[in-house]
């Protein structure tokens, strides 16, 4: 058992004794940080030396407060994955969603890398980026097919509309001949007049049919001048609904040419000489024809 020395009389006794057996002074266990005076007596250490402070050490738990207080944000990662799956399932028929999916995936990965304590879902972001890239690869042949199919489809639509316009003007010419010989007293009728006699359909009488606009100008046979009429058909959207404009008058000769969206007139070549128009390559359609 350890001993303790009385600070008053110097008697050495057991450390568990509360008072000195010689002088009765109260004693206690010595402070390991106490200093000894030249006289041999111990004195209490100062506040600066009694409890020395150990050098500051970083606790292994110093990053505890940096841990997330709640669930990590993974909205961007989920959005990237969902877009990637949709783009993959629909074979990337739309360009914009693929680009948006790739951008969101990269943004989600950057957020996760720079703020790991706030953003999560790295595996979903990687999966979203992968599926969007695969969709972009599939998009290339789809675009090639569309680049070939769309011009051919538009050309077919234009050809069908032009055929309809030629047939409609031919019907108008027949309706004008009937109107002149029956109720017109030698004159020709407008679209409204022809419709009133049920000689043309209501659609043609409205002036718009199958991508073409129709107009009729009537010349009366007053003052000894011969009666006449001119009917034209012009594409409502040049290049989309049609390219050629058509013209017909009381002679019954149907004429047509590419007038760049303007009305055709009597100077246009007859359609009979234009019959090969639809069969010729696109590069030769601008060739001129003579009557």
What pTM was estimated for this model as a whole? 0.52
pLDDT tens, 137-195? 777 777 788 788 888 889 999 999 999 999 999 999 999 999 999 998 889 999 999 99
- Do 241 and 235 meet the contact criterion of CB atoms below 8 Å apart? yes
How is the chain split into domains, by residue range?
1-40, 72-146, 162-279
pLDDT tens, 57-98? 444 444 444 444 457 787 878 887 787 777 777 765 667 777
Cα angle, residue 216 at apex, residues 189 and 265 outer, rounded to 5°: 135
- What is the length of the chain? 291
C-alpha 29: how far from chain center: 82
Record the tokens describing residue 249, joined without a space: 């008058």
Q: Does domain 162-279 have CATH number 3.30.540?
A: yes
Cα angle, residue 116 at apex, residues 111 and 118 outer, rounded to 5°: 80
Mean pLDDT for 192-209 is 94
Find the helix or strand (DSSP H, E) in which 257 lies.
strand 255-257
| Confidence (pLDDT) at 2 | 65
């Amino acid at each position: 058992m350890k001993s303790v020395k009385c600070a008053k009389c110097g008697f050495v006794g057991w450390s568990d004794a509360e008072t000195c057996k010689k002088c009765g002074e109260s004693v206690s266990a010595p402070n390991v940080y106490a200093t000894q005076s030249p006289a041999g007596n111990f004195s209490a250490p100062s506040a600066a030396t009694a409890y020395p402070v150990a050098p500051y050490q970083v606790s292994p738990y110093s990053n505890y407060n940096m841990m997330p207080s709640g669930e990590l944000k993974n909205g961007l990662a989920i959005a990237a994955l969902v877009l990637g799956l949709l783009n993959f399932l629909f074979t990337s028929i739309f360009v914009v969603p693929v680009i948006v999916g790739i951008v969101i995936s990269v943004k989600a990965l950057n957020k996760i890398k720079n703020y790991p304590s706030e953003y999560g879902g790295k595996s979903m972001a990687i999966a979203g980026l992968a599926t969007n890239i695969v969709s972009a690869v599939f998009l290339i042949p789809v675009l090639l097919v569309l680049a070939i199919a769309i011009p051919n489809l538009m050309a077919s639509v234009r050809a069908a509309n032009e055929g309809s316009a030629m047939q409609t003007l031919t019907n108008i010419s027949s309706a004008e001949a009937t109107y002149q010989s029956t109720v017109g007293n030698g004159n020709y009728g407008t679209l409204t007049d022809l419709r009133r006699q049920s000689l043309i359909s209501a659609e043609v009488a409205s002036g718009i049919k199958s991508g073409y606009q129709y107009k009729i100008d009537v010349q009366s046979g007053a003052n000894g001048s011969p009666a006449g009429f001119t009917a034209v058909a012009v594409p409502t959207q040049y290049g989309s609904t049609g390219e050629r404009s058509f013209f017909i008058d009381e002679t019954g000769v149907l004429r047509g040419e590419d007038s760049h969206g303007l009305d055709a007139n009597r100077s246009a070549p007859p359609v009979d000489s234009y019959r090969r128009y639809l069969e010729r390559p696109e590069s030769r359609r601008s060739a001129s024809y003579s009557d």
